[in-house]
């Protein structure tokens, strides 16, 4: 237990510390954690022997719930509406077509039995949301013709079909009697019904203001996510489809303080992705991979260059796509965590296969992420599919084009240069607005002709400062024991990346210079950047 916690804690800590560096890599950062898991494994540097498929299946399946929910929660239906039909076709018929094509290849090229061939095709039929989102966001790939929205929606919604095909194929291998149409209808209908019902009910409850704190709302949505998966699964419905649709409903609902929910699930999903890929790397035994390398390469090449392009071109043809869109959608069919999780489920079911299914699928996923994921930005440029005037973040619900509004107040003392002027004469920037004036106990909603008077208290609305990658603001409270107390700013050895931009003293706000002496009770506002000059 302690060893497992030590291992997981170390990996998460490494991810947090090196997140900015990983975002600059040309290869998908998730690939690094597969490699890290291999290094920790029995053939790696630390030689940790780990082969508990059951534990990995539970952990990764749980992590997949978070990834599916946040994939739906972050899907901007408004941005995706122009390609909703295409994404739906690809995530249903596209998955089935890909599974069938790969099954045919495995049967005739590798001489595998039909059931085993279809199992391989079913397991790797879906594209991976975590990998696609990771590449699009880290590389800032905004694509023409709403193609980025198409890829996000398809990759986030196609795992349920792959899961159903895998379940059906395993039943065939086990010699069970079942009706595939009945299975399909039950899985889809129960999954969709539960997901949409849970999303609608949760949104209604949140609007009733029954939960008074942001913490309680966050915990509430956490519980809703778990129930959205567990309830349909308990009645043989598709839990992954349910939790994805629940996420879409809630993500496209106007919720109070939604940004805090986004931050919470974004962090949890990041950790889930890292944990999945690390555990998958830890579980694999590298010395066993050469036995499945050739068939894995063959399936990967066929899948990437034949099956996916053929199915994509055929299904998108009625929508009259450009050749560039067909090309980029074909190449962006990244395989990932879901495929390996389904492979683990197959291994645990006792399915007998000629090749070790986990190792085979692991190699295919590794090749897909490393080759397709790395070359995706280059392919997009070669096909002239990058939209330089767009922002890929707008296809996600957690993107806010405008920062939240903050309010500031200005007291007009006698002699203030604004006194006696109408509001329309003030040279205020367009995004700074006087929204209220407090005057002698009265509240005034101002207009352009409102004359300002001494003693007025102006309330202005402005966009809040939003922390950027290389710039953030923080406050430092100065008490009597603080080492800066009593010193002028020019004598304080600030780091080169720190700049004092404001000092708040009581009710007054000062723009300081080098001679400003900090006093107990002051609040210093520091701007911290990687390149900021020293404070003066």
> 489: how many CB neighbours lie within 10 A of its CB?
19
Which tens digit of pLDDT belongs to each residue from 255-290?
766 777 877 888 888 888 888 888 888 888 888 889
pLDDT of residue 10: 73
Q: What is the pLDDT of residue 315?
A: 94
As a whole number, mean pLDDT of residues 455-467 equals 76
Query: Worst-scoring range by mean pLDDT, 32-36, 111-115, 244-248?
Result: 32-36
More confident residue, 474 or 526: 526
Neighbours of 373 (CB within 10 A): 27
> Where is pLDDT greater, at 462 or 121?
121
Q: How many other CB atoms sit within 10 Å of the CB of residue 297? A: 13
Per-residue confidence (pLDDT) for residue 258, from 0 to 100? 72
CA distance 465 to 406: 9
| Closest residue by Cα to residue 76 from 133, 23, 19, 127 | 133
Average pLDDT over residues 493-518: 81
Distance CA 408, CA 230 (A): 47
The pLDDT assigned to 444 comes to 83
User: In this model, does residue 323 exceed pLDDT 80?
Assistant: yes
pLDDT at 348 over 50: yes
Orientation angle between helical segments 114-123 and 337-348, nearest 10 degrees: 140
Sheet with 457-463, side-by-side order of all strands: 405-411, 457-463, 432-439, 442-444
For residue 401, what pLDDT is reported? 44
Question: pLDDT grade, residue 19 (50/70/90)?
Answer: low
Of 513, 521, 471, 469, residue with least CA distance to 492: 513
CA–CA–CA angle 453, 456, 458 (5° rounding): 120
CA 180 vs CA 33, 100, 160, 342, 415: distances in Å: 37, 15, 15, 18, 83
What's the mean pLDDT when you consider all of the chain? 82
Angle at 15 between CA 9 and CA 19, to 5 degrees: 155
Instruction: Give the model's confidence band at 104: pLDDT under 50 very low, under 70 low, under 90 confident, else very high.
Output: very high
168, pLDDT greater than 60: yes
Q: What is the pLDDT of residue 23?
A: 62
The pLDDT value recorded for residue 94 is 93
pLDDT above 80: residue 389: no
pLDDT band of 49, cuts 50, 70, 90: confident
The model's confidence at residue 536, banded by pLDDT at 50, 70 and 90, is very low
For 216-245, the DSSP string reads: HHHHHHHHHHHHHHHHHHHTT--HHHHHHH
Structure confidence at residue 503 as a pLDDT band (50, 70, 90)? confident
Task: Work out the average pLDDT over 197-207.
Answer: 90
pLDDT for 408-435, tens place per residue?
788 888 888 888 888 888 878 777 888 8
* Alpha-carbon span 535 to 518, nearest angstrom: 13
Q: What is the mean pLDDT of residues 380-389?
A: 84
Nearest-angstrom CA–CA distance, 499 and 90 = 51
Distance CA 525, CA 502 (A): 5
Hey, which residues does 442 pair with through a beta bridge? Answer: 439
Which of the four pLDDT bands, split at 50, 70 and 90, describes residue 535?
A: very low
| Residue that the structure tokens 């249903």 belong to | 92
Residue ranges of the alpha helices (H) in 317-410?
A: 323-331, 337-348, 357-367, 374-382
pLDDT above 90: residue 230? yes
If one compares 381 and 20, the residue with the highest pLDDT of the two is: 381
Which residue reads 């007998």 in tokens? 352
Q: What number is the average pLDDT over the span 48-56?
A: 79
Residue 215 pLDDT:
82
Whether 252 shows a pLDDT value over 60: the answer reads yes
Sheet of strand 508-510: strand arrangement? 471-477, 523-529, 498-505, 508-510
- For residue 340, CA distances in Å to 64, 90, 183, 284 come to 11, 21, 23, 11
236: how many CB neighbours lie within 10 A of its CB? 13
What was the pLDDT predicted at 465? Answer: 62
Q: With 70 as the cut, is the pLDDT of residue 533 above it? A: no
Report how far residue 291's alpha carbon sits from residue 377's, in angstroms, rounded to the nearest whole number: 32
Q: How far apart are CA 126 and CA 94, in angstroms?
A: 9
Q: Is the pLDDT of residue 111 over 50?
A: yes
Judge whether residue 45 has pLDDT over 60: yes
What integer is the mean pLDDT of 199-221?
A: 85
């Amino acid at each position: 237990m302690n060893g497992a916690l030590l291992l997981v804690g170390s990996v998460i800590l490494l991810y947090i510390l090196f997140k900015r560096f990983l975002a600059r890599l040309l290869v998908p950062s998730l690939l690094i954690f597969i490699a890290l898991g291999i290094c920790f494994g029995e053939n790696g540097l630390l030689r940790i022997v780990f082969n508990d498929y059951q534990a990995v299946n539970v952990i990764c399946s749980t992590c997949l719930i978070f990834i599916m929910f946040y994939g739906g929660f972050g899907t901007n239906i408004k941005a995706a509406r122009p390609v909703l039909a295409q994404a739906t076709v690809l995530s249903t018929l596209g998955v089935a077509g890909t599974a069938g094509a790969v099954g045919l290849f495995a049967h005739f090229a590798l001489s595998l039995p039909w059931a085993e061939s279809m199992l391989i095709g079913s397991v790797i039929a879906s594209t991976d949301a975590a990998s696609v989102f990771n590449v699009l966001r880290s590389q800032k790939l905004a694509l023409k013709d709403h193609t980025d929205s198409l890829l996000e929606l398809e990759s986030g919604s196609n795992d349920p079909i792959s899961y159903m095909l895998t379940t059906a194929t395993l039943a065939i291998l086990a010699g069970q009697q079942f009706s595939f149409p009945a299975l399909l209808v039950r899985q889809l209908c129960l999954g969709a019904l539960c997901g949409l019902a849970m999303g609608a009910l949760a949104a209604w409850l949140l609007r009733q203001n029954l939960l008074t704190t942001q913490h309680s709302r966050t915990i509430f949505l956490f519980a809703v996510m778990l129930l959205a998966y567990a309830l349909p699964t308990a009645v043989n419905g598709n839990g992954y489809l349910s939790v994805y649709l629940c996420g879409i409903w809630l993500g496209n609902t106007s919720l109070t303080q939604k940004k805090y929910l986004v931050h919470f699930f974004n962090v949890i999903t990041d950790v889930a992705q890292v944990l999945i890929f690390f555990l998958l790397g830890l579980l694999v035994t590298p010395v066993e991979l050469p036995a499945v390398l050739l068939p894995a390469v063959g399936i990967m090449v066929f899948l990437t260059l034949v099956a996916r392009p053929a199915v994509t071109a055929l299904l998108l043809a009625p929508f009259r796509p450009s050749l560039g869109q067909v090309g980029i959608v074909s190449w962006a069919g990244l395989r990932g965590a879901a495929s390996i999780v389904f492979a683990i489920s197959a291994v645990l079911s006792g399915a007998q296969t000629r090749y070790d299914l986990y190792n085979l699928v692991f190699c295919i996923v590794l090749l897909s992420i490393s080759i397709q994921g790395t070359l995706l930005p280059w392919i997009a440029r070669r096909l002239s599919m990058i939209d330089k005037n767009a922002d890929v973040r707008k296809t996600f619900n957690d993107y806010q084009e405008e920062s939240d509004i903050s309010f500031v107040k200005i007291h007009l003392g006698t002699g203030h240069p604004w006194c006696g002027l109408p509001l329309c004469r003030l040279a205020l920037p367009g995004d700074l607005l006087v929204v209220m004036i407090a005057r002698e106990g009265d509240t005034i909603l101002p207009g352009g002709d409102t004359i300002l008077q001494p003693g007025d208290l102006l309330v202005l609305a402005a966009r809040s400062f939003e922390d950027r990658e290389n710039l953030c603001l923080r406050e430092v409270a100065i008490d009597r024991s603080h080492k800066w107390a009593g010193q002028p700013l020019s004598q304080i050895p600030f780091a080169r990346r720190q700049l004092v931009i404001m000092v708040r003293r009581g009710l007054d706000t000062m723009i300081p210079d080098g001679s400003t002496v900090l006093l107990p009770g002051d609040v210093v506002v520091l701007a911290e950047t990687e390149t900021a000059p020293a404070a003066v």
